[in-house]
Amino acid sequence: MEELTARINKVIEKFGIEDKRKKIREIEAESLHPDFWKDQKQASEKMKQLSIIQDEVEKAELLANLLKSQEYQAAEKLLNELETLLYFSGQYDNAPALFSIHSGQGGVEAMDWAHMLYRMYTRYFEKRGWQFRTLEETPGEEAGLKSVIIEVKGNYAYGFLKGEAGVHRLVRQSPFNADNLRQTSFALVEVLPEIEEAPDIVIKDEDLQWEFFRSGGHGGQNVNKVSTAVRLIHKLTGITVTAQGQRYQGQNREYALKMLRAKLWLLKEEERKKQEAKLKGGYKTPGWGNQIRSYVLHPYKMVKDLRTGYETSNADSVLDGGLDAFIDEELRKL
């Protein structure tokens, strides 16, 4: 119990409850100003921030009360949740996430694997009570997905998901082969924060090249008959973003700019990490060369994270969205 008490006191201290209470009073005072709701977008963000801080303070106060009343089991469960929140110190950790899955080489096998990952992650989103919607989807010719992009909204969505970026490897008996041969498939997961405004990222109109074309995907006759799809090229970096999942061109333009802003931020973030790596030793960009997790379904069942060493033989649970243990381990490592 002494160890638990020490952990609880440490978390409560780090949470800075008095500072959070002060911030609550400031936002509440702001909200009473007659001009507060003139900027609906900014006001909405402020109220969202207020709700998050209030929730954190309430949980910290509850934790202290559980300790006083010696409800140690409930206290430890809540403590684990609050300890996780302390890992979210990144600038955009509480931002919505733009979550992408891309099938690797391997044809229909890889596309089926991408679809399995899509199901796994959307089940995880549902279990956390997050809102999500598919922004872009390119189905496979025979089965599965070539790629899919999902917008995920929830408390600390980007913070929880950013560690999932990288290559995911599947080993199983092929359901597409009559001989049930053992098959290895790969898929790439990309995770970006959805950034509305970033003072340190400047996007000039003269650096943008817009192209418009008809969408080849679903979405009704307007999508297929009018040039609603857009391709955005950032001339300075060569970054290209395509958006065709929305019905109207304006929506696709807005989404393309969000993706570009996030990718430019990621470039800056990777450069910063590379500089830090000179002191700490080693940094890998989460791309095709960097496998992060292996899912083996044959000849035995095992899911193993190659960064933390965490593993489980309950592969079915993992593929049904049971990712909490993997994500918690990764957060503790960051």
The two three-digit tokens of residue 86, written as one number: 């302390």
Per the listing, tokens 């709701």 go with 37
Among the three residues 21, 56, 85, which one is the final residue of a domain in this structure? 85
Same structural domain, 167 and 186: yes
Q: How far apart are CA 45 and CA 36, in angstroms?
A: 12
Same structural domain, 185 and 212: no
Residue type at 225 in one-letter notation:
K
* Inside any domain, residue 91: no
What pLDDT is stored for residue 27 in this prediction? 93
Ramachandran assignment for 218, one of left (phi > 0), alpha (psi -120 to 50 degrees), beta (any other): beta
Closest to 260 in 3D by CA, of 238, 245, 276, 279: 238
Q: Which residues pair with 240 in a beta bridge?
A: 233
Q: What is the CATH number of the domain that holds 161?
A: 3.30.70.1660
Q: How far apart are CA 31 and CA 43, in angstroms?
A: 8
φ/ψ (deg, to 5) at 41: -65, -50
Closest to 217 in 3D by CA, of 291, 148, 131, 116: 148
Instruction: Please tell me whether the overall predicted TM-score, pTM, comes out greater than 0.75 for this model.
Output: yes
The end-to-end CA distance of the chain, in Å, is: 27
- Half-sphere CA count of 210, side-chain side, radius 13 A: 15
Residues of the chain whose pLDDT is less than 50? 218-223
Q: How far apart are CA 21 and CA 57, in angstroms?
A: 7
What pLDDT is stored for residue 139 in this prediction? 92
* Inside any domain, residue 297: yes
Same structural domain, 77 and 107: no
The two three-digit tokens of residue 53, written as one number: 């801080």
Q: How many CB atoms lie within 10 A of CB 118?
A: 20
What pLDDT is stored for residue 119 in this prediction? 98
Same structural domain, 236 and 265: yes
| Residue 283: strand, helix, or coil | coil
What pLDDT is stored for residue 40 in this prediction? 87
Among the three residues 33, 50, 85, which one is the final residue of a domain in this structure? 85
**If you ran DSSP here, which 8-state letter would residue 61 be given?**
H
Same structural domain, 161 and 180: yes
Q: How far apart are CA 276 and CA 4, in angstroms?
A: 34
What pLDDT is stored for residue 245 in this prediction? 80
Closest to 75 in 3D by CA, of 16, 1, 127, 18: 1
Q: How many CB atoms lie within 10 A of CB 301?
A: 15
Ramachandran assignment for 251, one of left (phi > 0), alpha (psi -120 to 50 degrees), beta (any other): alpha
Residue 154's domain comprises 97-196+283-333
Same structural domain, 11 and 56: yes
Q: How far apart are CA 184 and CA 114, in angstroms?
A: 13
What pLDDT is stored for residue 325 in this prediction? 94
Residues 6+ apart with CB under 8 A from 172: 182, 183, 185, 296, 297, 298
Is the previous residue joined to 299 through a cis bond, with omega within 30 degrees of 0? Answer: yes
Same structural domain, 287 and 146: yes
Same structural domain, 192 and 290: yes
* Inside any domain, residue 90: no
What pLDDT is stored for residue 12 in this prediction? 85
Same structural domain, 248 and 228: yes
What pLDDT is stored for residue 284 in this prediction? 61
Number of independent structural domains in the chain: 3
Q: What is the CATH number of the domain that holds 224?
A: 3.30.160.20
Same structural domain, 140 and 13: no
What pLDDT is stored for residue 283 in this prediction? 55
**Tens-place pLDDT, residues 9-24:** 888 888 888 899 999 9
Same structural domain, 121 and 221: no
